[in-house]
Amino acid sequence: MVTAAHDLPVVVISGDTEVLEWASELGLAVIRQRDGGLDRAAELGRDAAIGSDATRVMIAHADLPFAKDLRPVFADPHQVTIVADGGRDGTNVIVLPLDRSFRFAYGPGSFRRHLDEAARLKWSVGVIDDPDLAIDIDDADDLARLRATRRP
C-alpha cells in the first residue's frame, strides 16, 4: 500500500482500466473490481485495510466534487463516522473500525441502514454534516443541480 501525500494509505478500487492506470501513475495502490457495485467495492477496500496494519478504514466515493480534506472525518478513532448526502439519504463517506464485520448497504436509504448496522455492532456513531462532502453526483439531475447552484 502506498502512502499518499496526506499520510494516509489510499487504495483506488475500480473496474475501469483508465482509472486504475491513472491511480497507479500517481503512486496509489489499486484493486480491480471485477463484479458487484458499491457494496462490493467497499468490501474490497475494507479487506485491503484488514490485510495491512490499519485499525480503521475510510470509504469515500469518487463522486464528491468538492472533497478537499477528509482528515476531519477520520479524526475520532473510537466511533463510526458517517457523512451523509445532502438529503441524509445516502452515505458519501464512512469510517469504520476493523474489529467487526460491517455489512455495507449502499443505494437509496443507505445512511439509515449504515446507522442501523453500526447500532447492531454496538458502535458509537458520529455524523458529520459537511456541505462540501454532502454533494455527490449520482446522475444527470445531480450534475444539472450542481451546475445551477455552484461553480466548480
Structure confidence by residue, pLDDT tens digits, 69-118: 888 898 888 899 999 998 999 999 999 999 889 999 999 999 999 999 99
Residue ranges of E strands in the chain:
11-14, 29-32, 56-60, 80-84, 91-97, 125-128
What span, in angstroms and rounded, lies between the C-alpha atoms of 78 and 96? 9
The answer to whether 94 touches 114, Cβ cutoff 8 Å, is yes
Domains of the chain: 55-149 (3.90.550.10)
Q: What is the pTM of this model?
A: 0.87
Task: Read off the pLDDT of residues 29-42 as tens digits, 9 standing for 90 and up.
Answer: 999 999 989 999 99
Which pLDDT score is estimated for 1? 34
